[in-house]
């Protein structure tokens, strides 16, 4: 008697689809980066007088002589720290220096640390590139999240002890960041640390301070003297395309629009306004936040800084006098 059921001898195990293979490749990259970077990231508890905890975050070991890189807002006004690593080891640390404008700070461990992270170059990042964030959010040591680079070269105002300040040239990512991630590592698929994560924006954005030529100079200054003498204007900027008629006349295609001008800042006193399109500074075209940041050096404090902006369709020349950044 014939059966109504006809077997086609099909294997119940379906062949992997291209999406399955892509997911496996994605997972392998993230797990490899996590395995490489997690041991290099410490949980940080900042301490005050009497060893009282006054703040927490993360930090990244980046030299063989026990230096760790973190955020200035993690260090705050503390002068000592307790470090905890993924393997369970702990160490005390001292503050080497801090730079509020870049939101970077250095700690030195007073005990043994894991081998240092390998630093990359954030200037080589591309929008859409995979990145992995490693830190200690909500007190959970060694937490890993992954995402992509959403934008580069941003300049954003952030809250700071009842006031606000501007962090220049940040990396924006959709990798989830929470309190405690600040000072952690943002790494590329090859395990190189290209940013120090910061969760101070408070607007649902994942932000990281880039590791590049500018931040390397800041780090070296902190190692030598514990501080960085920096000039500042008090503006927050975003890259923008120059309107076609102006681009045709001036030869400039990219510029920076002033999203914020800090009240009472050198920028405001010079007459710069929110919405101005910054075309040049010190005679140089300005197309990225980093172009302006490179001018904020100690030798430019109190000196004339000629600036050209586009305002209501007309070019306006302004003279600004950058001031020295003073920590609050």
Active site positions, annotated: 73, 103, 182
Query: How far is it, in rounded angstroms, from Cα 86 to Cα 39?
Result: 6
Report helix, strand or coil for 280: strand
Report helix, strand or coil for 99: strand
Residue that is written with structure tokens 């902190």 in the block: 222
Residue 136 to residues 23, 28, 159: CA-CA distances in angstroms? 25, 22, 21
Report helix, strand or coil for 141: coil
Q: Are 116 and 64 in contact (CB under 8 A)?
A: yes
Q: What is the dihedral of CA 288, 289, 291, 296, to 10 degrees?
A: 170
Q: Are 110 and 140 in contact (CB under 8 A)?
A: no
Query: How far is it, in rounded angstroms, from Cα 179 to Cα 16?
Result: 38
How far out from the chain centre does Cα 224 lie?
22
Helices (H), the chain: 18-37, 72-75, 213-225, 244-250, 266-270, 289-293
Q: Are 186 and 192 in contact (CB under 8 A)?
A: no
């Amino acid at each position: 008697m014939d059966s109504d059921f006809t077997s086609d001898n099909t294997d119940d195990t379906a062949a992997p689809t291209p999406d399955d293979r892509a997911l496996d490749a994605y997972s392998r990259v993230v797990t490899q980066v996590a395995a490489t970077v997690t041991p290099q990231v410490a949980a940080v508890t900042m301490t005050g007088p009497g060893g009282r905890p006054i703040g927490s975050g993360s930090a990244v070991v980046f030299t063989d002589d026990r230096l760790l890189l973190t955020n200035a807002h993690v260090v705050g006004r503390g002068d000592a720290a307790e470090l905890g690593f993924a393997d369970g080891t702990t160490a005390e640390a001292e503050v080497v220096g801090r730079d509020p404008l870049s939101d970077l700070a250095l700690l030195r461990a007073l005990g043994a640390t894991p081998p240092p992270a390998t630093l990359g170059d954030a200037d080589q990042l591309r929008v859409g590139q995979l990145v992995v964030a490693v830190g200690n959010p909500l007190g959970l040591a060694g937490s890993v999240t992954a995402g992509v680079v959403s934008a580069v070269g941003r300049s954003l105002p952030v809250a700071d002890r009842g006031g606000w300040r501007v962090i220049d040239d940040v990396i924006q990512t959709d990798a989830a960041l929470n309190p405690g991630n600040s000072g952690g590592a943002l790494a590329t698929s090859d395990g190189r640390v290209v940013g120090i994560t910061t969760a101070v924006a408070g607007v649902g954005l994942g932000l990281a301070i880039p590791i590049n030529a500018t931040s390397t100079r800041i780090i070296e200054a902190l190692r030598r003297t514990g501080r960085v003498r920096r000039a500042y204007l008090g503006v927050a900027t975003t890259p923008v395309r120059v309107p076609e008629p102006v681009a045709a006349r001036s030869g400039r295609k990219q510029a920076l629009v002033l999203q914020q001008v800090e009240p009472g800042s050198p920028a405001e006193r010079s007459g710069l306004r929110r919405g101005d399109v910054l075309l040049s500074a010190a005679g140089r075209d300005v197309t990225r936040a980093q172009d302006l940041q490179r001018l904020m050096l100690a030798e430019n404090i109190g000196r004339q800084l000629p600036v050209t902006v586009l305002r209501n369709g007309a070019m306006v020349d302004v003279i600004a006098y950058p001031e020295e950044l003073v920590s609050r």
